[in-house]
Structure 1
Amino acid sequence: MTFKFLRCVLLVGCFTLLIQVVNAQEATQHQTLPTVQITLQDITLEVEYAHTFEQRAMGLMYRKTLCGQCGMLFKFSGSKKASMWMQNTFLALDVAFITSDGVITDIKPMQPHDLTSVGASQAVLYALEMNQGWFAKNGIKVGDKMVIKTP
């Protein structure tokens, strides 16, 4: 019984270590994302720019913090009724869905680890994730326009 118990403990320990290594690798991937400058009303931000499938799939997963003026702009492969979810995401976020001409169609809250899809009400090309409450705090609302400085 002692040998089986030790083997089980060792196996669980190895599995836990493997998960920690994978999570650490995934968490550091965000450091290589390009940034893009955007303007919402009179607020100019430098946000991370997820424009490839892999970058969009990773998003803000595994992040434990996000600075007050930080965010991530997702550019989809084409305009569509996009949706987002919060798998492996520890942060409470708001997502603004944005058309190809920069108009915000929706701003929706998203809760950590919630696998419920949060979708745009119409076809959009972009989604901007910011800390939950950031849009309201800065007076950004549906109908406002985002301007992107072309990278």
Structure 2
Amino acid sequence: MTVTLRRAMLALLLFAALPLAAVRAEPLTIESGGEAHVFDVDVARTVAERGRGLMFRKEMAEDYGMLFDFGGEGEVSMWMKNTFIPLDMLFVRADGTIHRIAARTTPFSTQSIPSRGRVKAVLELKGGTAGRLGIAAGDVVRHEVFGNAE
């Protein structure tokens, strides 16, 4: 095979694999005050995905979020390094209950934002979303990560 033919075949294989590698947004619902708020979320399941998170994004849809799945419950800490937009961080227990909310976190801050308790996941939403929708500690997040999706 010539070098050109090999490169063309490799490019074709990579192009065909793109849909498999694309991140697919998943539905997530927060039950709060008798209302159901639906978001499309990307789920960060690997160390690399959790490490990158929402870094370098300069805008975010009102109904979008990122769910960081830590696998098991434990105390976790987040930060805002290389994050351009304020976020609401919802620290969520294994049963889907919101443990605490760090609202409107400061862009680019390297200050630790702790869970202050054992959680399974952190949901990041556009800054101000929790307050605007009345989402609070004790509300329930429904998603397959918590085994309570409907």
Same fold per TM (> 0.5)? Answer: yes
Matched with 1:92 is: 86
Q: TM-score under structure 1 normalisation?
A: 0.75
* Alignment deviations for residues 34-88 of structure 1 (CA, whole Å, 9 cap, x no partner): 3222110111222111111110000000000001111101101321111100111
The answer to whether the Cα contact below 8 Å between 2:91 and 2:100 also exists between their aligned partners in 1 is yes
Give the percent of matched residue pairs that are identical in Structure 1 and Structure 2. Answer: 33
3-state DSSP of counterpart to 2:41: strand
Residue of structure 2 in register with 1:123 after alignment: 118
Match of 1:35 in 2: 25
Matches within 5 A, 1:52-67: 52-67=46-61
**CA RMSD between the two structures:** 1.7
Number of residue pairs matched by the alignment: 121
Task: Measure, in 1, the Cα distance between the counterparts of 2:24 and 2:68.
Answer: 11
Once residues 115 and 129 of structure 1 are traced to their aligned partners in structure 2, the CA distance between those partners, rounded to angstroms, is 16
Q: Separation in 1 of the partners of 2:62 and 2:38?
A: 13
Q: Distance in 1 between matches of 2:124 and 2:83?
A: 12
Runs of 4+ in structure 1 over 2 Å off: 31-36
Cα distance change, pair 137–103 in 1 and its aligned pair in 2 (3 A): same
- Check the 8 A contact 1:37/1:149 in 2, yes or no: no
Tell me the secondary structure at the aligned position of residue 114 of structure 1: coil
Partners of 1:98 and 1:126 within 8 A in 2? yes
Amino acid across the alignment from 2:62: G
- CA displacement at 1:116 relative to structure 2: 0.4
CA–CA distance in structure 2, aligned partners of residues 32 and 124 of structure 1: 28
Mind listing any 5+ residue stretches in structure 2 that lack a counterpart?
Answer: 1-20
Q: Per residue, is there more helix in 1 or in 2?
A: 1
In 1, distance between residues paired with 2:113 and 2:144? 27
Change (3 A) 1:148 1:131: same
